[in-house]
Amino acid sequence: MIKQIAISSSQIKLLAEHSKKNSPNESCAILFGKTENNITTIKDIFFAKNIEESPVNFTISNDELISAYSQAEKKNLDVSGIFHSHPVSEPYPSSTDKKYMEVNDVPWVIFSNIEDKFMAYIYNSGIVQIPLKVS
């Protein structure tokens, strides 16, 4: 099981800016990286459009998902995480997030616009918080 996500401070800044730019709606992105010794290191970000344009849900189009997986493969990276924001709530998985986390077995990084805070989780027989190491 993945025990930690390593991400750069510049990537954190880009994700926060993406979230604030898309507010009041949720923003979303696919995180590319590599996992070694149960630590996932984020190497690149694929910024996606929330086609729901909703402040409480997000959906990435099938075309963008296909493009993301193709780009990850070309860069010799894995799809290593899912990112989205919570514009007006805490950075904890919603009931909808929990449902989708069960079928997407990568870490989920959530940013709260109101708390200016990032948290990371993975589904492992339930929602498990994992450390987010920013360097």
Q: What is the CATH number of the domain that holds 40?
A: 3.40.140.10
Report helix, strand or coil for 79. Answer: strand
pLDDT of residue 112: 97
3-class DSSP state of 27:
coil
Q: What is the pLDDT of residue 76?
A: 98
Question: 17, 26, 64, 73: which is the annotated catalytic residue?
Answer: 26
State how far the alpha carbon of 3 is from the alpha carbons of 55, 61, 81, 104, 114, in Å: 30, 29, 13, 16, 27
pLDDT tens by residue, 101-120:
999 889 999 999 999 999 99
Q: Catalytic residue at 26? A: yes
- Domain span at residue 16 reads 4-134
- Flag whether pLDDT at 1 surpasses 80: no
Mean pLDDT across 60-83: 97
Q: What domain count does the chain have?
A: 1
Nearest to 16 by CA among 105, 87, 74: 87
Residues 61 and 49: their CA atoms lie apart, in Å, by 8
pTM summary value: 0.95
Give residue 105's pLDDT. 87
What is the percentage of the chain residues whose pLDDT exceeds 90?
94
Q: What is the mean pLDDT of residues 85-98?
A: 95
- Mean of the per-residue pLDDT values for the chain? 96
Confidence label for 84 from pLDDT (cuts 50, 70 and 90)? very high
Edge-to-edge strand ranges of the sheet holding 78-86: 127-130, 117-123, 108-112, 78-86, 28-36, 39-48, 4-7, 132-134
In angstroms, rounded to a whole number, what is the distance separating the alpha carbons of residues 71 and 66?
9
Continuous segment of H or E residues that includes residue 21: helix 9-22
